[in-house]
């Protein structure tokens, strides 16, 4: 059985986004490359893959399953590594959609 591993900054990112009025659902346990959280803002949905910004860039790379998921997903999706980048991506992607 696979135990879901969340990045150490996930709680901080989720709390920050919620403080900005973003709905956040934790989807880290879904597996198969599905992103860590689903965000709702301004009537739009955004998928965010969280990486630990304190790790080296090579340690923040997507796994093989994540790369496949990202390449096949036809909606709004981004990789983030801090509360600020998560907020910027939510705003950017909700404005694009």
- Would you list the DSSP string of 2-66? PPP---TTHHHHHHHHHHTT-EEEE-TTS-TT--SEEEEETTEEEEEEE--TTS-GGGGSPPHHH
pLDDT tens for each residue of 15-69: 999 999 999 999 999 989 999 999 999 999 999 999 998 888 888 999 999 999 9
Looking at CATH, the fold of the domain delimited by 10-96 is given as Trna Endonuclease; Chain: A, domain 1 (3.40.1350)
Domain ranges of the chain: 10-96
Secondary structure class of 80 (helix, strand, coil): strand
């Amino acid at each position: 059985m696979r135990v879901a591993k969340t990045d150490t900054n996930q709680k901080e990112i989720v709390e920050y986004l919620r403080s900005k009025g973003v709905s956040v659902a934790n989807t880290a346990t879904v597996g198969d490359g599905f992103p860590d959280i689903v965000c709702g803002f301004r009537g739009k949905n955004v998928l965010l893959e969280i990486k630990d910004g304190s790790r080296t860039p090579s340690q923040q790379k997507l796994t093989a399953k994540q790369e496949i998921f990202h390449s096949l997903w036809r909606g709004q999706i981004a990789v983030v590594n801090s509360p600020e980048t998560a907020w910027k991506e939510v705003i950017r992607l909700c404005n694009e959609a």
